A = this chain, B = another copy of it.
Amino acid sequence: MPPDLQPAFRALADPTRRDILRRLSAREMTLAEVTRHCDMTRAAVKKHLVVLEEGNLIQMRRQGRETISTLNAAALKPVTDWLSYFDAFWQDKLTALTTALQDEKDNT
C-alpha cells in the first residue's frame, strides 16, 4: 500500500515551506531559529512546521523549552517516485527531438 501522497504534496505547495525544508537540510533548528529567516511571526512559522510534520517531511521534538525541527528527507521519496512515472514521457519527447535534429543534420 503506497503512502498517502496528499499531505506531502500539500506541504510542498508553499514556497515558505520549501524554503524551510532546504534550511533544515543543513541542520536541525529550533522554532525561533527558523522564524529568524522567515519574515513572519513565530505563530505563522509554527503553522508551516505543523503542515510539514503532517506531510512527514520533518519531525519535531521538545528539548527543554525549545522545539527542534529535523528534516525527514526520506519522506520525499514517494513524491519523487510518483513523479518518476512521467520521466518516460518527457524523456521520450526529448529523445525524439534529439533524433529529429540529428536526422536534419545528417540530411544537410
| Interface pick from A35-43, A78-86, A98-106 | A78-86
Measured CB to CB, the closest approach of chain B to A21, in angstroms, equals 7
Number of copies: 2
- Closest B-chain residue to A83, C-beta based? B80
State the majority secondary structure of interface residues on A: helix
A86-B25 in contact (CB<8A): yes
- Does A74 touch B at the CB level, under 8 Å? yes
Measured CB to CB, the closest approach of chain B to A103, in angstroms, equals 20
- Closest B-chain residue to A15, C-beta based? B6
Chain B residues within an 8 Å CB radius of A61 = none
Residue numbers of A with Cβ under 8 A of B are: 5-6, 9-10, 12-13, 15, 18, 21-22, 25, 71-77, 79-80, 82-87, 89-90, 93-94
Given contacts A9-B13, A25-B86, 19 further A-B contacts (CB under 8 A): A5-B18, A12-B13, A13-B13, A18-B82, A21-B86, A25-B89, A71-B86, A72-B90, A73-B86, A73-B87, A73-B89, A73-B90, A73-B93, A74-B90, A74-B93, A75-B90, A80-B80, A80-B87, A83-B83
